[in-house]
Structure 1
Amino acid sequence: MSKAYMVTEGRDYYQEMLRLGQDHTGRVRASSSRSRPRKVRIREYKIPDLNADPCLDMDEEETGEVVVGFRPQDADYSLNVPQLPYELEFLNKRFSRLLKEGKIFKVRRDRGVVEPFVFMRSTGDTSWTMFDKDFENYKNVPMLPLPPDSSFFLGDKESLCAGTHLIVTGNEGESIALWRYELETSQWFKGPAMITPRVLFASATFGTVAFVAGGLKMYGDTSKEVVNGAEKYDSVTKTWTRLQGMNKRRQFCSGCYLRGKFYVLGGKDENDNNLTCGERYDEGTDTWELIPDILKDASFSSIQSPPLIAVVNDNLYSLETSANELRVYDTNANAWKKLGDVPVRAKSSGGWGVAFKSLGDKLLVIGASAGPSRTEKMSVYTCCPSADPENKLVWEESKRSCDVQLNHFILNCCVMIA
């Protein structure tokens, strides 16, 4: 099987999987009856252009029979056969095996044809919803295999992505538990736990790995400790590695991966004081560099969320919640430049309930609309930002997401690049 074939089949499989919603098995529905012949149209298949649109064509005729084919084609044959041809059956089994082994996604990464998927959970949701980058297709992620009255199920949770893994952490009784969802198999697994389990930490994703730093370590019901420890998760080996600790202890902080380094901004120290400094981690030297006053102009309130930050095209952007305003960081001046308004209401909740993420070469913001209608439904906006304040911001609202009934208050949101 060529790499080009594996890459394109992987892309087509997940676009079709998202379109089908709940049906994530990847199996073609077929009748078990052998009493009547099935009509299967077999078309000549060529290795497609990786830059072309998905070409998997799966239709169902009025008779309820399944028609399987590929576009483009040079020949169109109609055969009456009693069951799926052996070659197609073998191909489906082989593809499923390669998918579960993670080889499809590895080839995609090696060839640079990855794309973002958005995992999100809002108030009232019992499971995550997975969207494609255009919010045109979606599917419900299977629920966690936990009883609905468990403390982990009911409590606050945090999420991040690494490779094809969605990592979710939260309190489970007197401890902190971690669950991972694997895209290849669409299944949940418990662990592996962090070396230092924590909540309220900063995180950032880089390819198949994720970095975490800071947070709150809990001992039983009452004892808590703000930490400065850092770790790295490798989704290929499913292991955590301890990193050098930060200069400052901090919780309620935010992280990003910028120009080859892991940044941690803001948060509160062990005395509950707001931190205006940041730090950046160099994996090559396993060292942290303090960045004084990177948030010196930020506004703080009693209900303030962790900083809302995102990286697009090697530029760091923030959503200043006190003004519903987009800003960009000037590394040389250690200052933030104002770029314009953001079309969601972040001020009233101190930034809580708003998703602000990078989505390839775009910024993604989700929340309650700040427009004249001020509806309480979930609104999704994207823009291609410019670091030049002279360039006007153009936000585009995704109308396709209106078919999804989610609350406007977003509890968890993270972007998977797979």
Structure 2
Amino acid sequence: MLVGQSCLISRALPSFCEQESKWLYMTYQLLEITNSKRPPGVVPGEQGEAMKSKRTKSPNPQGPSLVEEPASPPNESDCQGHGGGENSDSNSLISAVGRDNSINCLLHCSRSDYGALASLNRSFRSLIRSGELYKLRRQYGITEHWVYFSCSVLEWVAYDPYRERWITLPRMPHNDCFMYADKESLAVGTELLVFGKEITSHVVLRYSILTNSWSPGLEMNSPRCLFGSAGLGEKAIVAGGTDAQGTILNSAELYNSETQKWETLPSMNKPRKMCSGIFMDKKFYVIGGMASNTELLTCGEEYDLEKGIWRVIPNMSSGLNGVAGAPPLVAVVNNELYAADYAEKEVRKYDKENNSWITLGRLPERPDSMNGWGLAFRACGERLIVIGGARAMGGGTIELNSWIPKEGPPEWNLIASKHLGSFVYNCAVMGC
């Protein structure tokens, strides 16, 4: 199993002659990947099932658009793209097949390879750092999901389940107040956003996979913490939470990672904090939470992106969390909603027609939690992942257990483990 940094450039640029030989090799390798029936998103093991991505039409333009209808992908047999074979200067892409075909080949590479590809020459580096490849991958439905999580307040790691590879992110900037405040995380587009607090204000830190660096993120129109959120492509929605004075909010906002802007949405029917957010069936849902420090909410709310309205769903989160517990641990795979009942250590599935929960079976036995805190339950492509560890002196080991939902009770597979600790502070899944 490889362990590496997530930086784009790991060595000096090669000489021109070295580039030419590498281009020939890379052209062969890339065309092999392009013509292969197995997409780069196939995960080793688990019966070779691929993580599929969904293509959906754009919502009504009157509401915020979260999903785009992809255009036709470039013709893979078209060798007359820009920068064709006659162009062999050191700033070209794969000159033997042309720029358009070069880009089309790169789209079908695993994003684990982008760091090595960026070291070939300036054009590869510029292309990958521009984010253009990720925009095209999103349009053509080519998605790989990596899980990012933190077991130490300022340190983050990522796990690539396709290559079974760990990636260490740069350490977050040190800030004493930020370290000890409540934090939320959200993956959107090619960014990981971490939200926290200073003494009297909120802070957003932004990690970009394009630059492998942290920078200040853009604050919301109504800064908050303890909110519910979810990302879909390059956009995300946050709802509820508390402001700097502790007031519980019913407001919601949409974030666009490409424009770096927040847009205020209509407010929910009920203010709530400590809630969870998910996307399902082209709609955004807020589940559970607290209306006050003592009042537990069992209702959910559904936001229709086309109509721009919220609808209350009674008893949607009944039994999923307690007054002193973590927000509901929920995840969506193939437009089906699942929950981890941390009290009973069970997995449940939501019955949309009857607005009820069906118990499927057990969670993995080893991961512990403190009323749900310290345990992550996430959708990662076509699989559900449980991240956590057994409590131990001197750190402990984090385990990633995976299950691709199908008929019958869950059958968890241990896909990775690492000596990082035993408590997950924050977790997000980035699909790009």
TM-score, normalised to structure 1, is: 0.77
In the TM superposition, 1:2-21 aligns within 5 A as 19=2, 21=4
* Residue type of the alignment partner of 1:26: I
Matches within 5 A, 1:196-207: 196-207=222-233
Partner of residue 125, structure 2: 96
Partner of 1:138: 166
For residue 29 of structure 1, report the CA deviation from its aligned partner.
3.9
In the alignment, structure 1 residue 49 sits paired with structure 2 residue 33: yes
Aligned residue in 2 for 1:9:
none
Distance 1:39 1:194 in 2: 45
Distance 1:313 1:23 in 2: 29
**Cα distance between partner residues in 2 of 1:184 and 1:136:** 21
TM-fit CA distance, 1:201: 0.1
1:320-339 equivalence runs, <5 A: 320-339=341-360
2:177 maps to: 151
> Does 1:285 pair with 2:307?
yes
Match of 1:239 among 261, 269, 286: 261
Work out whether 1:411 is the aligned partner of 2:428.
no
Indicate the residue corresponding to 1:395 in structure 2. 412
Counterpart position of 1:61: none
Tell me which amino acid in the other structure corresponds to 1:365: V
The equivalent of 1:253 in structure 2 is: 275
Aligned counterpart, 1:127 = 155
Task: Give the aligned partner of residue 139 of structure 2.
Answer: 110
Indicate conservation of the 8 Å contact 1:164/1:183, yes or no: yes
Superposed counterparts of 1:227-376, under 5 Å: 227-270=249-292, 272-298=294-320, 300-302=322-324, 304-344=325-365, 349-368=370-389, 376=396
2:278 aligned counterpart, secondary structure: strand
The Cα of 1:155 is off from its aligned counterpart by: 3.1
Task: Pick from 165, 177, 187 the counterpart of residue 161 of structure 1.
Answer: 187
CA 94–19 in structure 1, closer or farther in 2 if over 3 Å, else same:
farther
| Cα distance in structure 2, aligned partners of 1:195 and 1:345 | 41
Give how far 1:140 is off: 1.4
Q: Aligned-pair distance for 1:365? A: 0.4
Alpha-carbon distance in 1 for matches of 2:4, 2:227: 32
User: Counterpart of 2:401?
Assistant: 381
User: How much is the aligned-residue C-alpha RMSD, in angstroms?
Assistant: 2.7
How high is the sequence identity, in percent, across the aligned residues? 34
Q: For the residues of structure 1 that align with 2:184 and 2:6, how far apart are their CA atoms?
A: 26
Please say if residues 344 and 366 of structure 1, whose CA atoms lie closer than 8 Å, have aligned partners that are also in contact.
no
Residue in 2 that maps onto 1:174: 200
The residue matched to 1:95 in structure 2 has which SS?
A: helix
Shift of the 383–97 alpha-carbon distance from structure 1 to 2, 3 Å rule, reads same
Once residues 30 and 199 of structure 1 are traced to their aligned partners in structure 2, the CA distance between those partners, rounded to angstroms, is 43
- Secondary structure of the residue aligned to 2:210 is coil
- 2-side partners of 1:269 and 1:321: how far apart? 21
How many aligned positions are there? 350
TM-score scaled by structure 2?
Answer: 0.75
Larger Rg: 1 or 2?
1
The runs of 5 or more residues in structure 2 that have no matched partner are 41-87, 94-120
Bigger proportion of residues as strand: 1
Distance 2:355 2:385 in 1: 24
TM superposition shift of 1:22: 2.6
Per the TM alignment, residue 342 of structure 1 is displaced from its structure 2 partner at its CA by: 0.3
Task: Tell me the amino acid that sits aligned with residue 392 of structure 1.
Answer: P
